Structure 1
Amino acid sequence: MGSNSSPSGATTDEAFPVLSNVSVLNYIDLASPDVQKSVSLLKQACLDSGFFYVVNHGISQDFMDEVFSQSKRFFDLPIDTKMKLLRNEKHRGYTPILDEHLDPVNQVNGDYKEGYFIGIELPEDDPEAEKPFYGPNVWPATDFLPGWRQTMEKYHQEALEVAKKVARIIALALDLDADFFDKPEMLGKPIAILRLLHYEGRVSNPSEGIYGAGAHSDYGLITLLATDEVVGLQICKDRYANPQIWEYVPPQKGAFIVNLGDMLERWSNGIFRSTLHRVLGNGQERYSIPFFVEPSHECLVECLPTCKSETNPAKFPPVKCVAYLSQRYKDTHADLTLYQNLQD
């Protein structure tokens, strides 16, 4: 952040914001016939910051507005009603404020945001439903949120198609076949998690350990982020810098903000980056909708042949997707037993 930064990466004006420290990101146009240009822009973004915008993705602005409207309708419900839809062990349902603690080293409390998890819908009697992150979703009753489930299921399907298009460009950028990530063990049967988020408007103060969302990297392949017009997302291109330099990523109407996850960093042997990011609140309510795209449960994430050599051996040991994800969720979410007294 230049001369006005503290060792925590905070601006001097903790209440926040004239946006002088803004990250300039590449735009990937999914409707462009010039695939090579898209590959080149994406590769540069993945090497530089691990973040980029995706435009002309095929999801209409009217429908995006409807998804945000339905999200707000849910978060406007009384807390007692929302707590009846508390997330289960499969990470489906409501997460209260402070439930998630993404950066315990620097945060005094958890994240000042509430959320709602929606995964791929599977009936309980489906053999696959026994797996972590799979099974039936938790849905609000239709009498007080009519059309809510249908909107979210449609968005989940459309966002997954966008993610697959982005994954094809990523594959080409890694000198792989375009359909590399389409395989059944990868995005053919993915763990794809839609998450609605509402930041309550508390002012963040990094010097006091108060964050909308603590600093973290995402866990999977890629994340598609849709957000309202309230600024809050920051990225740190070099997590090992001292002091860390944090840059804002401004929302762009009609665009997804896309970032790479830890599994892609492992696949690419650290060539492509899973970048540290966080959210600072500035006193305004903020709504965002990340869509987390991970491969299948059994997928073994190991260094790609195109990303290693005798002089550049694999930096990460192979890991099964489900083991890695399960551990990361366990590390960052409150134990569900803490809520038992509240629900009795």
Structure 2
Amino acid sequence: MCEIPIVDIGPLFGDDEKARAKTDREIANAAFDIGFMVVKNYPSDIKVGSAERNKMLKLFDIPEDDQRPYWKRNFAPENPHLYRGWFPLSSSPTRGREGYEIGPDIVRTLPADQADDVLYEPTPLPDEKLLPESWAKTTAEYYLSAENIGEHILASISRSLGIDESIFRDAFNDGISTLRLLHYPSRDNVISNGSTRYVEHDGKTFEQVAGAHVDSGLLTLLATCGVGGLQARDTHGKWIDVPVIDDSFAVNFGGLLERWTGGKIKATLHRVLGQGEHRYSIPFFFEPRPSTEIAPLPIDGIEPFEPFLYGDHLWATTTKFPENFGLAELRPPRAPYTDPLAG
């Protein structure tokens, strides 16, 4: 493919089997080829539109002095929370982004028998006086709605792979999906001084506000909030723009899903180029229960690999990111684990 597929996912939520089968084929074509797509036309009762996103992003209007109680312990040693919460602009030397990570406790009670697992850490929610009215309710509805979309996409992929839909669906019972709010400050693009943060594209110099990477997990739903700059690398190695469409999601498949499906689904390198203006985005990382065993799926021809637990993989991966540096030893693997994506 030389451009990002745009898929109408409305039929996934309806009763027209012929229309659903067509959408299944389109999703499969994207997943098995470029590993990236833009989805649109979800039902109107799914609350993930611009009104909801704008209210959620008011979080970044909180003055810095009032933010500090919600910073992760890496950046405010007096705070107890490690995994959920705020990573401030000071979390990176370039001060290029800040973000706030929300877990499933925004919508449901966390399992009591997993209280010792940092991956089930509660989210430190800001004082309601600092936020617009009904901010938490709007955020909870968004979280549930993103889960709903992700579940339907994974069900579609299950049908195309010829596996039982329950394999993916059941893995998300007590799942730990992360809703992340991101803000990239406005900054002028400057001429590269040799830094790898700056790249040439179409004859112009851009700052990479998010460097080229493959998401480590399964599935990411990304709301780009009206500003371009997101690019994916196609099968020929060319960087192509991900189209910005109102109330749509950019969807990419992670390295773990590529591994789990024996390489049938492709995980795609993507990056974000600065556009010289404030940029906000809202990724939803669809993440199963930490105790989920990742083992070869019942797909013809899949190569065997040593099973491992999702939580062990997630922790080994997320503690390589700047906002979680130095935390790896706080959660030893719960089972034998080696990086399934290495090599």
Residue 301, structure 1, aligned to residue 294, structure 2: yes
Deviation at 1:126, TM superposition (A): 2.2
The Cα offsets for residues 71-122 of structure 1, whole Å up to 9 and x where unpaired, read as: 332112222222221135552111123636xxxxxxxx56722111000116
Separation (CA, whole Å) in 1 of partners of 2:47 and 2:310: 35
Aligned to 1:91, which of 54, 75, 83? 83
1:234 touches 1:277 (CA, 8 Å); kept in 2? yes
Tell me, in whole angstroms, the C-alpha distance in 2 between the residues paired with 1:307 and 1:333.
39
Matched, 1:51 2:36: yes
1:280 aligns with 2:269: no
Distance 2:313 2:139 in 1: 26
Q: Within 2, Cα distance between the matches of 1:155 and 1:90?
A: 24
Query: TM-score, normalised on structure 2?
Result: 0.79
Asked if 2 retains the 8 angstrom alpha-carbon contact of 1:120 and 1:191, the reply is: yes
Matched, 1:217 2:222: no
Alpha carbons of structure 1 residues 248 and 77: separation in structure 2 relative to 1, 3 Å: same
Contact conserved, 2:110 with 2:174, CA < 8 A, in 1?
Answer: no
1:54-93 alignment to 2 at 5 Å? 54-58=39-43, 64-87=49-72, 89-93=81-85
Which is worse superposed, 292-301 or 26-35? 26-35
C-alpha separation in 1, matches of 2:7 and 2:137: 30
Note the 1:175-324 alignment, pairs <5 A. 175-183=162-170, 186-203=171-188, 208-210=195-197, 211-238=208-235, 244-309=237-302, 313-314=303-304, 316-324=305-313
**Aligned-pair CA distance for 1:319:** 2.5
- 1:141 maps to which residue? 127
Instruction: Look up the SS of the partner of 2:123 in the other structure.
Output: coil
Q: 1:227, 1:251 within 8 Å by CA — same for their partners in 2?
A: yes
2:285 alignment partner, SS class: strand
Match of 2:140 in 1: 153
The verdict on how the C-alpha distance between 1:337 and 1:62 changes in structure 2, with shifts beyond 3 A counting, is closer
Structure 1 Cα separation of the partners of residues 27 and 57 of structure 2: 32
Question: Is 1:298–1:321's contact at 8 Å kept on the other side of the alignment?
Answer: yes
- TM-superposition CA deviations, 1:15-69 (whole Å, max 9, x none): xxxxxxx833131423352221112111110122111122222255875223322
Structure 1: stretches of 5+ with no match in the other structure = 1-21, 101-108, 339-344
Q: 1:141 corresponds to which letter in structure 2?
A: D
One of 115, 120, 123 as aligned partner of 1:129: 115
8 Å contact kept, 2:222–2:250:
yes
Deviation at 1:303, TM superposition (A): 2.3
Is 2:149 the partner of 1:169? no
Q: Do 2:222 and 2:283's aligned partners in 1 also have CA atoms closer than 8 Å?
A: yes
Give SS of 2:118's match.
Answer: coil
Superimposed CA distance per residue, residues 272-299 of structure 1 (whole angstroms, 9 cap, x where no aligned partner): 1111111111111111111001121111
2:104 matched to 1:120?
Answer: yes
Match of 1:40 in 2: 25
Alignment partners' CA distance in 1, 2:60 and 2:322: 19
CA distance in 2, matches of 1:55, 1:47: 19
Kept in 2, the 8 Å contact 1:90–1:133? The answer is no
Is the 8 Å Cα contact of residues 201 and 284 (structure 1) preserved in structure 2? yes
Kindly tell me: are residues 40 and 110 of structure 1, through their superposed partners in 2, closer, same or farther at Cα, counting changes over 3 Å?
farther
1:269–1:303 Cα contact (<8 Å) kept? yes
Alpha-carbon distance in structure 1 between the residues aligned to 2:254 and 2:172? 14
Structure 1-normalised TM-score? Answer: 0.79
Task: Give the RMSD, CA atoms, in angstroms.
Answer: 2.7
User: Cα distance 1:335–1:171, how it changes in 2: closer, same or farther (>3 A)?
Assistant: closer
Q: 1:81, 1:63 → 2: CA distance?
A: 27
Q: Which runs of 5 or more structure 2 residues have no equivalent in the other structure?
A: 74-80, 198-207, 328-343
